[in-house]
Amino acid sequence: MDTLILSRIQFGANISFHILFPTITIALGWVLFYFKVAFTWTKDDRWMEAYRFWVKVFALSFAMGVVSGITMSFQFGTNWPGFMETVGNIAGPLLAYEVLTAFFLEAVFLGIMLFGAGRVPNWAHTGATFLVAFGTTMSAFWIIVLNSWMHTPQGFEMRDGVAHATDWWAIVFNPSMPYRLTHMILASFLTVSFLIAGISAYRWIIGGQTRGVRVALKSAVFGAALLIPVQIFVGDMHGLNTLEHQPQKVAAMEANWETAGNVPLVLFAIPDEETRSNRVEIAIPNGASLILRHKADGVVPGLNDFVTPEGDVLHPPVAPVFYGFRVMVGIGMLMLLVSWTVAFTMLRRKPGSKERRGVEGLPRWMLYGLVAMSFSGWVATLAGWYVTEIGRQPWLVDGVLTTRMAVADVPAPMVLSTLIGYLAVYGLLIVAYLGAIFYLARKASKGGTGPVVPGARLEGMGVAAE
């Protein structure tokens, strides 16, 4: 393998590992803020119980996100110097704003959010929670702006091979940004909903049937049931936006080789780039034309349009984009099914009573189903990112800079050695992270999280607080 592919795998591994944690912290910050406000409003302990458990998961995820995020800012230089050399004038300020407005806001107020409950008044602690949530969201905003600009660049001009900004408004509000941002924020909320629902169901099963667990489970399931239809709608809009700006990506998602009308919707196939056709194909006639153009004979772009007469392939590798898209959509459908089934079961009335069934009315198998779905959001989010990022290839910045042009001239064995190092560490950490979350759940179920003591320490740091 050469330096380019190794560097890509390394960056892909790093950013895949990294995104797992912001996907949790972006929405979990707001969920914690919600718990805190609900507690302040109702003075009901169950909200604080939920807060005290989930703030630990937040702290753990946040730490994982910070340390894996630092890796990113270095790898631009160690592996992809061509990126900043070419588009540094645009990427620079966006990254700078990310670090400035967001990172510090989170990191500084995180201390007060985690350890400061007994040291600052309640309103200040709620405020710190808000600022941390706001910070993570702003962080996501700036990163998505830059990422979207790499997909749909505008507002710049090239002088001597270097991009110079001409219109910052156009750069920030580039065409794919609003769709990608909304899609990602919703993905984060869905990931967190299923995480909270799954871990709460786990605690419920093993005997930790407290009021805090019940309220967390209910909030999470209803949240997911409400958001998943919105996400499906937004995802569709995002796809149409991609069709307009990056048709080659949509062609790869659909595994459609020839531009034509009456294009079928390929449900499953094995795309083969050697023969430039699909082996085995299960398809719905006219499906793709209907979805993308809203009429049966609508013209859908094909991959063969993106091969130059000289034979240069300017479309992405088809198989990963095609499969990734199906994994993402498949999990989305599963989320719809699970959240609606569980939500409707809880809403049904008990026989001969006006009372709703609630969490107690959930059959065991549904609780197990929720546990199985705990990390489904991660899989869908990763699959989605693979679709959009691999779908951008061979470009790093669409139409401006190819990935090959940006890679550092570091010897391949050196990249391989660091890649193995990162993979080993990430493998261990993911096991440790999952282990710690389930351990925290078991520990909380055994001892409960105790009563709310005014000024109690929220976080067990150094010495276990319980």
Partner 1 sequence: MFADPAVWLPFVFAALMGLSILIYVVLDGFDLGVGVLFPFATDAEKDRMVAAIGPFWDANETWLVLAVGLLLVAFPQAHGDILTALYLPVAVMLIGLILRGVAFEFRAKAAARWKKTWNHAFFAGSLMTSLSQGFMLGLYIMGLEWTLPHVAFALMTAVFLTVGYSFIGATWIIHKTDGVLQLAALQWAKGGIWGLVLGIGAISLATPLVSPRIFEKWFSWPEALWLAPLPLASGLIVLWLWSLLRKMPFAGDRRSWLPFALATALWTLAFGGMAYSFYPYVVPNKLTIYEAASSPESLMIILYGTLIVLPTILAYTVLAYTVFRGKATELSYE
| 95-134: contacts with partner 1 (CB under 8 A) | 95-97, 99-101, 103-105, 107-112, 114-116, 118-120
Comparing CB distances to partner 1, the nearer of 108 and 299 is 108
Residues 237-296 that bind partner 1 (CB under 8 A): none
Please give the helix or strand (H or E) that residue 389 lies within, else none: helix 376-390
- In the complex with partner 1, the residue whose CB is nearer, 141 or 422, is 422
Stretch that binds partner 1, among 160-168, 238-246, 272-280, 336-344 (CB under 8 A): 160-168
Tokens of 175: 């065409």
Query: At closest approach, how far in Å is the CB of 253 from partner 1?
Result: 33
Answer yes or no whether residue 226 interacts with partner 1 by CB under 8 A: no
**Selection from 100, 105, 24 nearest residue 68 by Cα:** 24
Which positions ≥6 away from 143 have C-beta within 8 Å?
Answer: 98
Q: How far is the CB of 109 from partner 1 (least distance, A)?
A: 7
Of 79-87, 183-191, 293-301, 335-343, which part binds partner 1 (CB under 8 A)?
A: 79-87
- The answer to whether residue 89 forms part of the interface with partner 1 (CB under 8 A) is yes
Return the number of the residue (368 or 438) whose C-beta is nearest partner 1. 438
Q: Which of residues 12-71 bind partner 1 (CB under 8 A)?
A: 56, 59-60, 62-64, 66-71
For strand 162-165 and strand 265-272, is the pairing parallel, antiparallel, or unpaired?
Answer: unpaired
Least separation in angstroms between CB 457 and partner 1: 4
CB 36 within 8 A of CB 125: yes
What DSSP element (H or E) covers 12?
Answer: helix 3-42
The one-letter amino acid at 277: S
Q: Is 420 in the site for partner 1 (CB under 8 A)?
A: no
CB-nearer residue toward partner 1: 165 or 240: 165
Closest to partner 1 by CB, 119 or 348:
119
Stretch that binds partner 1, among 288-296, 306-314, 382-390, 424-432 (CB under 8 A): 424-432
**CA 427 to CA 198: how far, in whole Å?**
22
8 Å CB contact between 150 and 98: no
462 binds partner 1 (CB under 8 A): yes
Burial 79-89 (b: 16+ CB within 10 A, else e): bbbbbbebbee
Smallest distance, partner 1 to C-beta of residue 24, A: 13
According to CB under 8 A, which one of 81, 127, 287, 317 is a site residue for partner 1?
81
- How near is the Cβ of 23 to partner 1 at its closest, in Å? 17
Token output for 430: 């993911």
Q: Is 425 in the site for partner 1 (CB under 8 A)?
A: yes
Task: Out of 4, 37, 93, 262, point to the residue binding partner 1 (CB under 8 A).
Answer: 93
Rounded to whole angstroms, the Cα distance separating 422 from 428 reads: 10
Residues 391-410, interacting with partner 1 (CB under 8 A):
408-410
Q: Euclidean distance between the first and final Cα of the chain, in Å?
A: 51
Whether the CB-CB separation of 82 and 407 falls below 8 Å is answered with yes
For partner 1 (CB under 8 A), the number of binding residues is 78
Closest CB to partner 1 among residues 74, 344: 74
Q: Are 4 and 41 in contact (CB under 8 A)?
A: no
CB of 95 to partner 1, least distance (A): 6
We find the least distance from the C-beta atom of residue 433 to partner 1, in angstroms, to be 8
* 168 in contact with partner 1 (CB under 8 A): yes
Q: Where are the alpha helices (DSSP H) in 246-360?
A: 247-254, 287-293, 318-347
- Residue 85 or 244 with smaller CB distance to partner 1: 85
Q: Interface with partner 1 by CB under 8 A: which range of 283-291, 297-305, 392-400, 453-461?
A: 453-461
Confirm if 442 and 207 have CB atoms less than 8 A apart: no
4, 9, 37, 84: residue in contact with partner 1 (rule CB under 8 A): 84
Burial of 462 (0-12, 13-18, 19+ CB in 10 A): exposed
| 455 lies in the site for partner 1, by CB under 8 A | yes
Smallest gap, in angstroms, from Cβ of residue 36 to partner 1?
A: 18
Look up residue 409 and give its DSSP letter: -
> Closer CB to partner 1, residue 1 or residue 99?
99
Interface with partner 1, residue 361, by CB under 8 A: no
Match 């001009």 to its residue by tokens.
Answer: 157
Distance CA 102, CA 389 (A): 24
Backbone angles phi, psi at 157, to 5 degrees: -135, 150
Kindly tell me the number of DSSP H helices and DSSP E strands found in the chain: 15, 6
Between 104 and 268, name the residue whose CB sits nearer to partner 1. Answer: 104
459/466 Cα distance (integer angstroms)? 9
How open is the CA angle 97-101-106, to the nearest 5 degrees?
135
92 binds partner 1 (CB under 8 A): yes
Pairing relationship of beta strands 265-272 and 277-284 according to DSSP bridges: antiparallel
198 sits near partner 1 (criterion: CB under 8 A): no
In the complex, minimum distance from the CB of residue 132 to partner 1, in angstroms, rounded to a whole number? 11
